[in-house]
Amino acid sequence: MARMRYLKIWVGGAILLLLLVCGLVAPFLAPYDPQEQRLEHRLQPPSRGIQGSDPHWLGTDNLGRDILSRIIYGSRISLLVGATTVVLAGFMGCFLGALAGYFGDLTDEVISKISEIFLAFPFLLLAIALMAFLGQGLLNLILALMLTRWVQYCRVVRGEVLSLKERDFVVAARALGGRDFYILFRHVVPNTLASVTVIATFAMAIVIIAEASLSFLGLGVPPSIPTWGSMLSEGRSYMYRAPWLTIFPGIAIFVTVFGINLLGDGLRDILDPKLRGQR
């Protein structure tokens, strides 16, 4: 049981690490410039080089660009968007959730109502609306996804803070004359980190899929930046003729999300206080 738990973390962590390395050293790993178009070599199937031409391990796309290189570069966007969004949304959600839970009353009322408004919209629909409004771009993409993801943190942290603030160590800290913000961010919030970590890993998987979905719809980053979602979208019309255009980016998304979910699962098994008792 315990070994299984760590296995999940190991496998998930390894996949994520591999991806991270891929993204970091992309220029050295990628055999070609991901943007280099060679129209005369378009739609080549995966090969070690047909009749003396250059090898394209995963084939070339509709504009003659190397798919392997684009997938490697694409991992940058997925990770960057995933990590940044999760961290930023985490900060925003935790901060607001802590305030709402600790101070209660009007603060709680206002923040909870705002988060309910956000919750009322289907997540992806809200992201699509925001992107259509903000326009294409990496920063806009992160902003849109952050605005749709912070609510989950906020709800969980608020709940945890509600129960934590009644605990003896908090009462003690207050008795010693600690100020509200000091107690909140020194004693209360750190105790919510376990749950936040678990949410963050799962959120990252969701955000990566959301980024791919938005890019698929042409609402993500500009066409000049390769991403897995836009590769899927551009390859879609070639499904019959050149299925490798969609299969490989699809596998990339699948493996990444699978890895992160494994990691999140493993972390939850260890960190979740409810599951902790079952050991």
Partner 1 sequence: MAREKSAMNRRQFLKQSAAFGLGSLMAPAFARQVYAASKDRVAVLHSVSADSLNPYAHSASPTYGIWQHILEPLVEVDYAKKEFYGVLAESWEFQGKKWVFRLKKGIRFHNGAAFTSKDVIFSINRMKTDKASLQRSNFRDVVEMQAPDDHTVIIATKTPSAVFLDRLHNRFMISKAAADKYGDQMDQHAIGTGPYRFVSWQRDGNLVLTRNDDYWGPKPEIKEVVYRKVGEEAGRVAGLLAGQGDVINNVPVDEIPRLESHPRVRVEKVAGLRMYFLAMNCTLKPFDNKLVRQAVNYCIDPQAIIKYIYDGNGYMVDGPVPSHVIGYDPNLKRYPNDPKKARELLAKAGFSNGVEVKLYFSPDRYPKAREICQVIADQLLKGGIKTEPVSQEFVIFWGKDGVNGGKLPFYYVGRPFVDTDTFYDQYFHSGVTKRIGYSNAEFDRLMKEQQSTGDQKKRVALLQEAGRIVMEDAPFVPLYNLAEVYGVARNVIWKARPDEKILVWDMKIRS
Question: Contacts with partner 1 in 76-135 (CB under 8 A)?
Answer: 132, 135
From candidates 120, 224, 278, 279, binder to partner 1 by CB under 8 A: 224
What CA–CA distance (Å, rounded) separates 267 from 96?
Answer: 24
Tell me: does residue 40 bind partner 1 (CB under 8 A). Answer: yes
Nearer to partner 1, 40 or 168 (CB): 40
Supply 40's token pair. Answer: 């005369």
23 and 267 Cβ atoms separated by less than 8 Å: no
**Distances from the Cα of 148 to the Cαs of 105, 182, 204, in angstroms?**
25, 29, 13
**Distances from the Cα of 44 to the Cαs of 48, 65, 154, 228, in angstroms?**
11, 10, 48, 19
Which span (49-57, 92-100, 186-194, 231-239) binds partner 1, by CB under 8 A? 231-239
From candidates 18, 30, 32, 37, binder to partner 1 by CB under 8 A: 37
Residues constituting the chain: 279
Tell me: does residue 211 bind partner 1 (CB under 8 A). Answer: no
From candidates 5, 9, 42, 119, binder to partner 1 by CB under 8 A: 42
Which SS3 state, helix, strand or coil, does residue 47 take?
strand
What CA–CA distance (Å, rounded) separates 215 from 81?
Answer: 12
Tell me: does residue 276 bind partner 1 (CB under 8 A). Answer: no
Least CB distance from residue 240 to partner 1, whole Å? 6
Footprint on this chain of partner 1 (rule: CB under 8 A): 35, 37, 39-40, 42, 62-64, 132, 135-136, 218, 222-224, 234, 237-238, 240-241
